[in-house]
Amino acid sequence: MTEPYRLSKRMSELGLCSRREADEWIARGWVRVDGKVVSELGTKVLPSQRVSVERQAAAEQSKRVTILINKPVGYVSGQAEDGYKPAVALVNANTRWSDDKAPVQFHPTQLRSLVPAGRLDIDSVGLLVLTQDGRVAKKLIGEDTEIEKEYLVRVQYGKPGRLPDADLRRLNHGLSLDGKKLLPAKVSWQNEDQLRFILREGKKRQIRRMCEMVGLKVLGLKRVRIGRVKLGDLPTGQWRYLREDEQF
Q: 120 and 233 share a domain? A: yes
User: Contact, 230 vs 148, CB < 8 A?
Assistant: no
Pairing, β 194-199 against β 149-157? antiparallel
Alpha helices for the chain (secondary structure H) = 7-13, 19-27, 55-62, 134-141, 165-172, 206-213
**Can you tell me the distance from the alpha carbon of 243 to that of 19, in angstroms, rounded to the nearest whole number?**
24
Residue 234, domain CATH: 3.30.70.580
**Is the residue at 248 inside a domain?**
no
CA distance 163 to 136: 38
Indicate whether 179 and 191 sit together in one domain. Answer: yes
* Domain end marker among 14, 32, 62: 62
CA distances from residue 115 to 27, 56, 98, 128, 174 in whole angstroms, order as listed: 22, 23, 23, 10, 33
Same domain? For 84 and 207 the reply is: no
- Is 81 contained in some domain? yes
Residues 70 and 181 in one domain: no
153 with 220, same domain? yes
CA–CA dist 127, 228 (Å, integer): 12
**Per the residue annotation, which of 23, 82, 121, 165 is the catalytic one?**
121
Predicted confidence pLDDT, tens digits, the chain (248 residues): 578 889 999 988 887 887 888 998 999 999 999 999 999 988 999 999 999 998 888 777 767 899 999 999 999 998 777 788 999 999 999 999 999 999 989 988 888 888 899 889 999 999 999 998 888 888 888 777 889 999 999 999 999 999 999 999 999 999 999 999 999 999 999 999 999 999 998 888 999 999 999 999 999 999 999 999 999 999 999 999 999 889 89
Q: Which of the listed residues 25, 41, 62 is the one where a domain comes to its end?
A: 62
Task: Residue 214: give its domain's CATH number.
Answer: 3.30.2350.10
pTM of the model: 0.80
Specify whether 100 is catalytic. no
CB 123 within 8 A of CB 73: yes
Q: Is residue 180 part of a domain?
A: yes
Q: Mark which of 62, 81, 108 sits at the end of a domain.
A: 62
Same domain, 193 and 180: yes
Give domain status of residue 190, yes or no. yes
In angstroms, the CA 224 to CA 239 distance is 14
Q: Do 72 and 130 fall within a single domain?
A: yes
Whether 246 is in a domain gets the answer: no
The tally of domains found in the chain comes to 3
The answer on 237 and 188 residing in a single domain is no
Q: 130 in a domain, yes or no? A: yes
140 & 71 share domain: yes
Same domain, 84 and 198: no
**How many Å apart are CA 71 and CA 97, to the nearest integer?**
13
Note whether 31 and 73 are same-domain residues: no
Residue 126 lies in a domain: yes
Query: pLDDT, tens digit, for every residue of 59-97?
Result: 777 678 999 999 999 999 987 777 889 999 999 999 999
Is residue 221 within 8 A of residue 207, CB to CB? The reply is yes
Would the CA dihedral through 224, 227, 232, 237 be positive or negative? negative
Range of the domain at 176: 149-226
247 found inside a domain: no
21 and 48 both lie in a single domain: yes
Nearest to 71 by CA among 90, 54, 56: 90
Give the C-alpha separation, 78 to 121, whole Å.
Answer: 10
